[in-house]
Amino acid sequence: MKIKAIRPYIKNLALTKPYTIAYNTFNDVSLIFLEIELENGIIGIGSASPAEEVIGENSQQTLANLQTEFVQNLVGRDIRHFQQIIFETHQQFPNLAGTQAAIDLALHDAFGKYLEIPIVSFYGQKVKYLPTSITIGIKNVSETLEEAEGYFKLGFKVLKVKTGINVDEDIERVIRLNEKYKNNLKIRVDANQGYDLSDLEEFLVKTNEIGIELIEQPLKVGKETELLQLNVQNRKILAGDESLKNAKAALAFSSEPQPFGIFNIKLMKCGGIIGALEIATIAQNANIELFWGCNDESIASITAALHVAYACKNTRYIDLDGSFDLAEDLVSGGFSLEEGYLKINDKAGFGYKKITL
């Protein structure tokens, strides 16, 4: 079955509320969508939400890349050769993960619909479902507790607290959360490179009794070897995020001694499902657990991340709440949220459908 048409476009979508991390505050997001139409009328939809500060590519650049002759010349190619097309895409657009992801996801969705099976079934489902964390940005203690109560009432079981500006306030925030919810909520932390080693050591000591589930990217990219000064037990709960962009980085961090016991995989960092599976395989053979994350993203790419996450047997954590922050989206369905758990449906491809705004 041949590709009939390729249509890239950009949409600027408002967030339901602004949020702050260690290095930025966000109010809206520019998302890229890519439609790949087959001769029989099937349309595969992919989406990209590149974070320029992490991968060096923004949405405008992604759109321009998708409008090039290389992409338009994919018209006429057989969808059954989708993995070869993804390989060629990586050759044409090296180190441009947003561009790679948009093409990768649209091709996967079209291929799954062509076969009439979910993508997770194509790769083999290893995990049934997991609870996603829901993210609280950097704010004061009372605001943190107030937002946490709202999420708790909605049925979420895991909170991810953004930190990295003031370690003393960060410690107070998680201690107060633990005092209030104890075993009823698990707490994860994401410092977004905001700590130095002494900050991290202080945080670990003063929150030792809480049982923090994991700490995401505590130090700046390039400082990973400093983490080796920590004991193995502490390193086991550290998750590499901004440091972990591709399989090459995964291979480097898999060698003993390992700075991270967990790898955070984001499709927008590694260029889609094929890149994610490369990282996952390396992690599995190094006994490193997987934590699947996201940016502010459409249901389209969040659902794709769920499919590949549930296809990897070393997946332990998901943080796929990025579509919850959007005031609007271009697709619906794909997954359901049930008491904090994300469950994918059994429809072909990624199982979502396009809606009209």
- Helix 273-285, helix 82-92: angle, nearest 10: 90
Architecture of the domain whose range is 121-354? Alpha-Beta Barrel (3.20)
Chunked mean pLDDT (size 10), the chain, 357 residues: 98 80 73 98 97 92 98 98 98 97 98 98 98 95 96 96 96 97 95 97 96 97 98 98 96 97 98 98 98 96 98 98 93 96 98 84
Q: What is the pLDDT of residue 53?
A: 87
Q: What are phi and psi of 34, to 5 degrees?
A: -135, 125
Please give, one letter per residue, the 3-state secondary structure of the chain.
CEEEEEEEEEEEEEEEEEEEECCEEEEEEEEEEEEEEECCCCEEEEEECCCHHHHCCCHHHHHHHHCCHHHHCCCCCEHHHHHHHHHHHHHHCCCCHHHHHHHHHHHHHHHHHHHCCEHHHHHCCCCCCEEEEEEECCCCHHHHHHHHHHHHHCCCCEEEEECCCCHHHHHHHHHHHHHHHHHHCEEEEECCCCCCHHHHHHHHHHCCCCCCCEEECCCCCCCHHHHHHCCHHHHHCEEECCCCCCHHHHHHHHCCCCCCCEEEECHHHHCCHHHHHHHHHHHHHCCCEEEECCCCCCHHHHHHHHHHHCCCCCEEEECCCHHHHECCCCEEECEEEECCEEEECCCCECCEEECCC
Closest CA to 298 of 249, 254, 331: 331
- For domain 3-116, give the fold: Enolase-like; domain 1 (3.30.390)
Q: What is the pLDDT of residue 17?
A: 74
Tokens read off for 355: 């809606």
Q: What is the pLDDT of residue 21?
A: 65
Residue 82, sorted as left (phi over 0), alpha (psi -120 to 50) or beta, turns out to be alpha
Domain ranges for the chain: 3-116, 121-354
Q: What is the pLDDT of residue 357?
A: 54
Whether residue 240 contacts residue 260, with contact meaning beta carbons closer than 8 Å, is answered with: yes
